[in-house]
Structure 1
């Protein structure tokens, strides 16, 4: 939802906005519809993408509702696939300041 607020600003700099989640496809569809999300969201139910970027929360114990949830963050990936920058913060309430990212 915070991404939607800054989507136009990011795109004006040639950046594409997308997200990924470990949520089920049904939860994802509900979230997208409820929040009018207009950017692509990748389903990552096994956390493979979060592992690749090194932002998977490994502090929660297996069986916890938050086990495997990625830390909230921003990852800048160039069109050639190189990671230009990454900010990920532990805890779902400590999200990166997207205003500073613009």
Structure 2
């Protein structure tokens, strides 16, 4: 059974860990209260010190699409934009939850 949720992964590269962490916290502050946004996390790679991923969880694809197409999208995520991993053909991925298990 799925929760119908959507996860968005944004890939970043940063030699300045403190800088990307500050940018993440600022972007998260700006995103507070966005309809459909459930949570977000900044993950740091254990294999590449400068590799980071921001994972956001959304209630559904419609909520994510509405936010992404809205006027505030670019301003809200602006602090993280300089860290985006542009070496990738697409520095982000959008995934629909296909199956999920919850710990008892």
TM-score by length of 1: 0.31
TM-score by length of 2: 0.30
**Larger RCO (CA under 8 A, 6+ residues apart):** 2
Structure whose residues are more often strand by fraction: 2
